[in-house]
Homo-oligomer: A and B are copies of this chain.
Amino acid sequence: MNEQIRVGILGYGNLGRGVELALRMHADMRLVAFFTRRDPATIRTLSPKVPVYHVDQVLQMKDEIDVLVLCGGSATDLPVQSPEYAKYFNIVDSFDTHAKIPEHFANCDKSAKAGGKIALISVGWDPGMFSLQRVLGNALLPQGKDYTFWGKGVSQGHSDAIRRIEGVKDAKQYTIPVPEALDRVRAGENPDLTTRQKHTRECFVVAQEGADLARIEQEIVTMPNYFADYDTTVHFITQEELQRDHSGIPHGGFVMRSGVTGVNGETPQMIEYSLRLGSNPEFTACVLACYARAACRMNRDGLCGAKTVFDVAPAYLSAMSGEEMRKKLL
C-alpha cells in the first residue's frame, strides 16, 4: 500500500463540503487543507482540525498536497483555475459546460504536461458516470441508439431563472423524465423523441405578496430555452412549504443503450444505467473523491496531461488491491 493520498479542496460550497464528507469514507486519503477566495476566518467547515487558507497561499502547499479538488463553478472559476493549478498539482474538476470541454481539455492538457501533472476534468455524474456508460454502450452495441434522461431532480439553472422573474421570492424547479418515453425506449422501440416528449418541468414558486400569479405563471411557461419547449407545471406555495418540502437537492437520471445484434440485427439488446441521488452535490463529490485517488495514482505511474473519465482504468478508482478486487468483485 502506498502512503496516504493528501488532498486539498479549493472552494467551499455544496460541492466542497461534499468532497470533505466523501473523503471521510476513504481510509487511504486524507484531507490536508481547504482553500477559499473568501476570508478564511469566515469559513466554518465540518473538519475543525483541517486548516482553511486563502487561495493565494495554495502554491506554498505544493509539496504537502498530492491532488487538489477544484470545487468552483464551470462558468467562470474552472476555466481559469484548472489550467492554472494543473501546472503545480494533480487536479480534478467537474467542468460541465459541454460545448467548451474541448477548449478546457486543451488548456488543461498544456498546463498539466508542462508541470508533469494529471488534470482530470469533467468528473461527476453527467459529464462523468453517464459519459462512461455512453462510451461503454456505444462500444458494446455499435448498432444502437443512445438515450439520456435526467431527473427526477432539481435543476439549479432553471430554479434561478424563475427567481429572476418579477414578483418571485423563491423557487425550485424539478426536471422529470416522461414515464411513457422511458417505457418506449425500454420496449426497444428506438423512438425519436422531441424535447417535450422526454421531460416535463415542475415548478414550485413562492410569490411576493400581491404579485400577479397568472402573469408569473405565463412568464415561466413561455420562457424561451428554459421552459417554452416543455410541458411545465407551476405550483404556488408558501416559503414555509418550500422550506419544508423542497429543501433537498435530489437528482438522477437514466442512460440507456438500445441496440441489436445477430445476422440481420434480429436480436434486441438493452443496457440501462440509472442513478437516484438523494443529494446531487454529495454524489458528485463522491465521484470527485474517487477520481482524485485515480489522478494521484496515475501520476505516480508516470502519466501526465489532461484526462477524462474515459482515460481512467476502473482499478485506479478503488482502494482495493488488484487481488482483492478480482477475488471479491470480478
Contacts and interface: CB of A to CB of B under 8 A. Distances in A.
Interface of A: 18, 21-22, 25-26, 46, 98, 101-102, 105, 122, 127, 129, 131-136, 138-143, 186, 252, 260-263, 267-279, 282-283, 285-287, 290, 308-315, 317-320, 322-323, 325-327, 329-330
User: Which 6 residue pairs across A and B have the least CB separation, nearest first?
Assistant: A267-B278, A25-B142, A139-B317, A310-B315, A261-B282, A270-B276
B275 A271 contact: yes
A31 to B, nearest CB: 15
Contacts of A278: 260-262, 267-269
A310 B320 CA distance: 11
- Copies, count: 2
Contacts of A142: 25-26, 319
Contacts of A141: 286
Given A22-B261, A139-B314, A261-B286, 7 more contacts: A21-B262, A139-B318, A270-B275, A270-B276, A273-B273, A273-B274, A310-B326
B318 A135 contact: yes
Contacts of A271: 273-275
26 contacts: A25-B261, A102-B326, A102-B327, A105-B326, A131-B329, A133-B273, A135-B317, A140-B283, A186-B276, A261-B278, A261-B286, A262-B278, A262-B279, A262-B282, A267-B278, A267-B279, A267-B282, A269-B275, A269-B286, A270-B277, A271-B274, A272-B274, A308-B330, A310-B329, A311-B322, A312-B314
Contact of A313 (B26, B311, B319, B326): B311
Contacts of A314: 132, 135-136, 139, 309-312
Contacts of A329: 131, 134-135, 138, 310
A140 B46 contact: no
B276 A273 contact: no
Nearest to A27: B142
A318 B140 CA distance: 9
Contacts of A261: 18, 21-22, 25, 278-279, 282-283, 285-286
A287 B101 contact: no
